[in-house]
Amino acid sequence: MLTYPEIDPIIFALGPLKVRWYGLMYVIAFLLAWWLAKRRCARSDSPVNSEQVDDLMFYGMLGVIVGGRVGYALVYGWDQFTSDPFYLLKITQGGMSFHGGLAGVMIAMWLYGRRLGRSIWSLTDFVAPIVPLGLGFGRIGNFINGELWGKETEVAWAFVVNGVSVHASQLYEAILEGFVLFLILWIYSSKPRPYLAVSGMFLLFYGIFRFFVEFYRVPDDHLDYLALGWVTMGQILSAPMILAGLMLVVVSYRWDFSTAARS
């Protein structure tokens, strides 16, 4: 078994300014996404050009931060939010929801798509392959912060935390939802695919991976298991993603969408 190294979540401090590993992971995530988007926009089937990528990333960044925080406050931090509405703004206290961030990005893509005169799905097909690496680095940030540990276990790769050996579920998610999902989508989208297909593959595989890892995670104390002694909030939120992703993939290959639908 491995011993958790108890990493200081603060890299360095300059007076009241504290630079945290978790924040650095977000910076790395956005820089990687920007670089990958610049590469993808050179393709003939790209819905945006190189100049528009910068605005696209700005919209996406706002969607992730606002949606992720609001989603967490409403779903996982409802008690804190109702007792202190300013809790929504206390980002340094932690708490970001992937599903909320996804909703925020969807809204951001819809807004930016309206500005460009393009459909939301043409933009989500474009950004889907560049998102997973950011998710992976975000989970590494969770690991450094020593949060979101999994259930107790005796497997050889478990981490000993406060004298208890547990699954490093953050790293499971970093590998599956981050790096494996990135490889799947980057390779799959390396050649033109039917409209909606790449977005559908993202929803499908992220939902599957998250649903699976939830079996090893410990649910939030104030939520616990919601049904059958094992169903978690993460699984309830991921199940519709699996169904929606499967539906999008099936629809994308069954119906021939015109070029106008892609614009």
Instruction: Supply 84's token pair.
Output: 């202190």
Q: Per this entry, what is the length of the chain?
A: 263
185 lies in which domain range? 2-262
pTM of the predicted model as reported, rounded to 2 decimal places = 0.87
Q: 176 or 87: which carries more pLDDT confidence?
A: 176
Q: What does the pLDDT read at residue 149? A: 92
| pLDDT tens readout for residues 187-215 | 999 988 999 999 999 999 999 999 999 99
Across 191-226, b (16+ Cβ under 10 Å) vs e yields: eebbbbbbbbbbbbbbbbbbbebbebbbbeeeeeee
Q: What DSSP string runs through 99-158?
A: HHHHHHHHHHHHHHHHHHT--HHHHHHHHGGGSHHHHHHHHHHHHHHT-S-B-B---TT-
| pLDDT tens readout for residues 125-184 | 999 999 999 999 989 999 998 888 999 999 999 999 988 999 999 999 999 999 999 999
* Per-residue pLDDT at 12 exceeds 70: yes
| CB contact set of 7 (below 8 Å; sequence gap of 6+) | 21, 144, 146
Q: What does the pLDDT read at residue 256? A: 63
| pLDDT tens readout for residues 102-123 | 899 999 999 999 999 999 999 9
**DSSP helix, strand, coil percent of the chain (3-state; round to 5):** 65, 10, 30
Q: Domain count for the chain, please give it.
A: 1
Q: What are the backbone angles phi and psi of residue 13, rounded to the nearest 5°?
A: -130, 140
Average pLDDT, the chain: 88
Q: What would the mean pLDDT of 210-223 be, rounded to a whole number?
A: 86
For residues 164 and 210, the answer to whether their CB atoms sit within 8 Å is: no
